[in-house]
């Protein structure tokens, strides 16, 4: 594992964006696994800026996102499709037909998951998978569980995740209780994992994930077994390291 210690959120974002842009430059038709949430926002802003400067070309890039809330349409401002479109897709020259997320509007979980698995198999393993880290150690929406998940599945969000994500909604009641998420096996199939972590509130969990036992109770702990993990975290997140 390589660790890049950033001074602050901006520095973390720039370092992460540099790694993503290196991937796009070295392999213009790469598959990028993408994440939503507040942590990657700064990295996306940098990528957009560098694209506008003419330094980056996304025309051949394929993207697969980690997850989507069950029940939300693409037009819903809280959906992850909307997030990706607002923060990246609509601002760069990516071909929208090459951007994939689970279909939140598919009410049948089995159908939604099979459909997304088929897409993931079709595009192949991500060259780079960007991940954020949940306060309970979740990656994607893979919540603490009895065993590690494999492929795309429907998950019931934990109380802690509902509370953490309520900040994006009018109130806690509005947070969907279920989501479709890429499974751990698929995440682990990525050639490179780029984990971004920021802030003191994540200091305990980032330490637990990498120094604690590998257990499905801390889903991110599985990353200890991945041969090519890059952790980009700011000083606050690494304060207990």
Interface residues toward ligand F6R, by CB under 6 A: 35-39, 66-67, 132-134, 138-141
Q: How far apart are the C-alpha atoms of 214 and 45, rounded to whole Å?
A: 33
Residue among 136, 142, 165, 234 flagged as catalytic = 136
**Integer-rounded Cα radius of gyration of the chain:** 17
CB of 114 to ligand F6R, least distance (A): 20
- At closest approach, how far in Å is the CB of 1 from ligand F6R? 18
Q: Which residues on adjacent β-strands are paired with residue 89? A: none
Which has the closest alpha carbon to 107: 62, 154, 150? 154
Q: Which residues touch 122 (CB under 8 Å, ≥6 apart)?
A: none
Angstrom distance (rounded) from CA 228 to CA 194: 9
For this structure, is 136 an active site residue? Answer: yes
138 belongs to the catalytic site:
yes
Active site (annotated) includes residue 11: no
| Shortest reach from residue 54's CB to ligand F6R, in Å | 29
| Residue nearest ligand F6R, Cβ-based | 132
Q: With respect to ligand F6R, which residue has the nearer C-beta, 45 or 60? A: 45
Q: Which of 117, 136 has the CB closer to ligand F6R? A: 136
Nearer to ligand F6R, 52 or 161 (CB): 161
Sequence-distant (6+) residues with CB within 8 A of 213 are 221
Q: Which is nearer to ligand F6R, 138 or 191 (CB)?
A: 138
Q: How far is the CB of 132 from ligand F6R (least distance, A)?
A: 2
Beta strand ranges found along the chain (DSSP E): 2-6, 31-34, 62-65, 67-69, 99-100, 128-131, 153-156, 178-181, 192-197, 229-234
Catalytic residue among 138, 142, 153, 234: 138
Whether residue 68 lies in the annotated active site? no
**Is 60 or 215 the residue whose CB approaches ligand F6R more closely?**
215
Q: Give the shortest CB-53-to-ligand F6R separation in angstroms.
A: 26
- Distant-in-sequence, close-in-space partners of 72: CB < 8 Å, separation ≥ 6: 78, 79, 80, 104, 105, 176
Determine which one of 68, 127, 143, 234 is catalytic: 143
Helix (H, G, I), strand (E, B) or coil at 144: coil
Q: Could you give the residue numbers annotated as active site?
A: 67, 136, 138, 143
């Amino acid at each position: 594992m390589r660790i890049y210690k950033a001074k602050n959120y901006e520095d973390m974002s720039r370092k992460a964006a540099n790694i993503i842009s290196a991937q796009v430059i070295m392999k213009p038709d790469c598959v990028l696994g993408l994440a939503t949430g507040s942590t990657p926002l700064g990295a996306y802003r940098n990528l957009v800026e560098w694209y506008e400067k003419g330094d980056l070309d996304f025309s051949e890039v394929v993207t697969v996102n980690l997850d989507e809330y069950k029940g939300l349409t693409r037009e819903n401002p809280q959906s992850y499709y909307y997030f990706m479109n607002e923060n990246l897709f609509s601002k760069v020259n990516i071909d929208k037909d090459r951007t994939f997320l689970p279909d939140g509007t598919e009410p049948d979980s089995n159908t939604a998951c099979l459909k997304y698995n088929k897409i993931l198999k079709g595009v192949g393993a991500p060259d780079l998978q960007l991940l954020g880290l949940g306060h309970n150690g979740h990656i994607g929406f893979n919540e603490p569980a009895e065993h590690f998940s494999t492929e795309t599945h429907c998950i019931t969000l934990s109380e802690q995740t509902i509370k953490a994500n309520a900040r994006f909604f009018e109130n806690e009641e509005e947070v969907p209780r279920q989501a479709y998420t890429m499974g751990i096996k698929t995440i682990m199939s990525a050639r490179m994992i780029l984990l971004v972590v920021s802030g003191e509130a994540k200091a305990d969990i980032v330490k637990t994930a990498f120094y604690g036992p590998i257990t499905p109770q801390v889903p991110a702990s599985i990353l200890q077994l991945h041969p090519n993990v890059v952790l980009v975290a700011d000083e606050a997140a690494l304060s207990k390291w």
